[in-house]
């Protein structure tokens, strides 16, 4: 953390064109920092809709900088994004897993490429509009949940390295979203009512399956129940995720008593496994196996750790026991079975508000009778 006074500290804010990063710049300026903005282009393709959205975001970022009287830099990280985020995501989709590109983008782009570029521009620190908090203790910069529990984004930041957090400010960590919009309106920002961005960053508001089909081949196969009964056809396992309800094309079957959900994928047999009912037992797992964990601060010195975990964004933290395995992976046992434990998604560990780190889910650990339910 910089030891300079705010007046002698240059902070470059990653301005996305949204209201959160705009208010981040406003608050830092009010706190006396020398503030500059930087607009990142992280995705480019031949889609005119995407291009128009980026230009609108740039215009909003420029209006914020004019209002605050600060410079606006621009940089294009689309090549880095394709190589370090998008290509990895395609590999995961092709393997039947469901990746979380926002997590990888934060580690590789926003808190690596952006940070390094900002330092070259003369920044002492960087800042973003994430709803999270950084506390500095004996173990270095710690990542903590944002005060607004409905907007807390620490889940997406769990792979950011401690060295990067030490050079980062999150001014929105103490605020509610409603307060952020009020501050933006009072400041005269045009984007104070702008809708929050949703969906995967490189897909945006477009149809997911249509976009993915440009890059991943479709390999149709059977949709089956856990007992092996064929109930339909899928377009390719890459296009589905565990817990998915929409887009299965098997609703309204005779004798059907409720909606169908994806409960598993048989990769070797190219079969999508579904079951009826939101709370079908096949959707639940007692635990999971993850790839090697990434710890933000000093790793625990014990083989077992009691903590809380999230396996999806905005999920309430779940009590669990984490055990390290000899191959560097970890096994997590939940106190209560969890729904739709999805390979490729993030396991994020907490102790209270403190985000410890996390890893990528490799597989769910189900009760034995559930694992044996699908015929070979």
Output the six-digit token pair for 174: 């103490």
| pLDDT for residue 376 | 43
Interval 164-195: pLDDT, tens = 999 999 999 999 999 999 999 999 999 999 98
Cβ-in-10-Å burial (0-12, 13-18, 19+) of 328 comes to exposed
Between residues 197 and 373, which one has the greater pLDDT? 197
Q: How high does pLDDT run on average in the chain?
A: 91
Residue 155 has pLDDT above 60, yes or no: yes
Range of the domain at 303: 282-371
Flag whether 201 is in a domain.
no
| pLDDT for residue 49 | 54
Flag whether 205 is in a domain.
no
Q: Please state which of the ranges 98-112, 245-259, 303-317, 330-344 shows the lowest mean pLDDT.
A: 245-259
High-pLDDT (> 90) share of the chain, %: 79
| Distances 167 to 62, 74, 119, 133, 134 between C-alpha atoms, Å | 24, 20, 10, 13, 10
Which whole number is the average pLDDT over 308-320?
Answer: 96
Give yes or no for a contact between 127 and 11, defined as CB atoms under 8 angstroms apart.
yes
pTM of structure: 0.91
Residue 322 has pLDDT above 90, yes or no: yes
Which whole number is the average pLDDT over 352-368?
Answer: 91
Which whole number is the average pLDDT over 320-330?
Answer: 88
By C-alpha distance, which of 360, 358, 337, 334 is closest to 348?
358
For residue 36, what is the domain's CATH number? 3.40.50.620
Alpha-carbon span 349 to 357, nearest angstrom? 6
163 and 241 belong to one structural domain: no
Residue 242 has pLDDT above 60, yes or no: yes
Residue 214 has pLDDT above 60, yes or no: yes
Which whole number is the average pLDDT over 321-347?
Answer: 93
271 and 286 belong to one structural domain: no
Interval 61-113: pLDDT, tens = 999 999 999 999 999 999 999 999 999 999 999 999 999 999 999 999 999 99
Q: Is the dihedral of CA 191, 192, 194, 196 positive or negative?
A: positive
For residue 291, what is the domain's CATH number? 2.40.30.10
Count of domains observed in the chain: 3
Residue 51 has pLDDT above 90, yes or no: no
120 and 159 belong to one structural domain: yes
Confidence of residue 369 (pLDDT cuts 50, 70, 90): very low
Between residues 2 and 120, which one has the greater pLDDT? 120
314 and 332 belong to one structural domain: yes
The helix (H) or strand (E) run that includes residue 76 is strand 72-76
Give yes or no for a contact between 346 and 105, defined as CB atoms under 8 angstroms apart.
no
| pLDDT for residue 54 | 85
* Mean pLDDT comparison of 26-40, 254-268, 294-308, highest-scoring range: 26-40
- Residues with catalytic annotation? 105, 201
For residue 222, what is the domain's CATH number? 2.30.30.280
């Amino acid at each position: 953390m910089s030891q300079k006074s705010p007046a002698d500290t240059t902070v470059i804010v990653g301005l996305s064109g949204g209201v959160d990063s705009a208010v981040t710049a406003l608050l830092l300026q009010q706190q006396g920092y020398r503030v500059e903005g930087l607009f990142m282009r992280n995705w480019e393709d031949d889609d005119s809709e995407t291009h128009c959205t980026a230009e609108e975001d740039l215009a909003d970022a420029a209006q914020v900088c004019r209002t605050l009287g600060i410079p606006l830099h621009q940089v294009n990280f689309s090549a880095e994004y394709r190589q370090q985020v998008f290509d990895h995501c395609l590999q995961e989709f092709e393997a039947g897993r469901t990746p979380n590109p926002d997590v990888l983008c934060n580690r590789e782009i926003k808190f690596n490429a952006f940070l390094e570029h900002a330092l070259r521009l003369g920044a002492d620190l960087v800042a973003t509009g994430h709803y999270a908090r950084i506390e500095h203790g004996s173990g270095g910069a710690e990542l903590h949940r944002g005060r607004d529990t409905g907007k807390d984004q620490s889940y997406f930041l769990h792979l950011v390295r401690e060295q990067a957090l030490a050079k980062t400010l999150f001014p929105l960590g103490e605020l509610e979203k409603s307060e952020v919009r009020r501050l933006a309106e009072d400041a005269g920002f045009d984007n104070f009512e702008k809708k929050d961005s949703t969906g995967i960053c490189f897909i945006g508001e477009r149809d997911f399956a249509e976009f993915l089909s440009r890059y991943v081949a479709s390999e149709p196969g059977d949709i089956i129940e856990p007992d092996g009964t064929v109930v339909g056809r899928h377009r390719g396992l890459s296009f589905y995720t565990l817990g998915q309800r929409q887009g299965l094309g098997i609703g309204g079957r005779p004798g059907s008593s409720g909606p169908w959900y994806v409960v598993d994928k048989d990769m070797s047999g190219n079969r999508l496994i579904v079951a009826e009912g939101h709370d079908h037992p096949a959707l639940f797992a007692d635990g999971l196996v993850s790839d090697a964990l990434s710890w933000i601060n000093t790793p625990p010195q014990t083989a077992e750790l009691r903590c809380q975990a999230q396996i999806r964004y905005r999920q309430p933290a779940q009590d669990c026991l984490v055990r390290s395995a000899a191959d560097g992976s970890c096994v997590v046992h939940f106190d209560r079975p969890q729904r739709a434990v999805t390979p490729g998604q993030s396991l994020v560990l907490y102790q209270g508000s403190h985000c410890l780190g996390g890893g990528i889910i490799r597989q769910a650990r189900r009760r034995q009778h559930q694992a044996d339910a699908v015929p070979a």
